[in-house]
Amino acid sequence: MTHSRPDGILMVSDALTTLNRRRVIEFATANRLPAIYELSALVRDGGLMSYGPDQRAIGDRAADFVARILRGARPADLPLEQPTKFELVINLKTAKTLGLEMPLPLLGGADEVIE
């Protein structure tokens, strides 16, 4: 990315990118690149914005599955579920650092705005 500068960054979360999240956030900030992440925690760490499944809701569903298995349910009999709640989180401090002005409709639709 240093040889051919991108217009922005879309960071999909996996073990490698999550492990190097600080480097990605610092690179985006140093190069004044807008970046969107999958996990809201990365926005709280200084990223610009995130849109992805609500991690608390996923944790709640996982806990429900564990409880059902501990009560005797067979894992193979449990339904496959996909996330149903997604959240948009925006960091206005980072937007200001990047020289970006967030549109009011985008801010109005955010689940959380960090100032």
98 neighbors 29 (Cβ within 8 angstroms): yes
pLDDT value at position 75? 95
pLDDT value at position 62? 94
Domain that holds residue 94: 9-53+85-114
pLDDT value at position 110? 97
Tokens for 24?
């990605």
What digits encode the pLDDT tens for the residues 81-111? 999 999 999 999 999 999 999 999 999 999 9
Query: Against a cut of 0.95, is the pTM above it?
Result: no
Is position 4 within any domain?
Answer: no
- The burial of 77, by beta-carbon neighbours within 10 Å (0-12 exposed, 13-18 middle, 19 or more buried), is given as exposed
Is position 2 within any domain?
Answer: no
Residue 18 binned pLDDT confidence (cut-offs 50, 70, 90): confident
Is position 31 within any domain?
Answer: yes
Check which CATH number belongs to the domain holding 96 and give it. Answer: 3.40.50.2300
Is position 67 within any domain?
Answer: no
Number of structural domains, the chain? 1
Is position 37 within any domain?
Answer: yes
Residue 22 binned pLDDT confidence (cut-offs 50, 70, 90): very high
35 neighbors 17 (Cβ within 8 angstroms): no
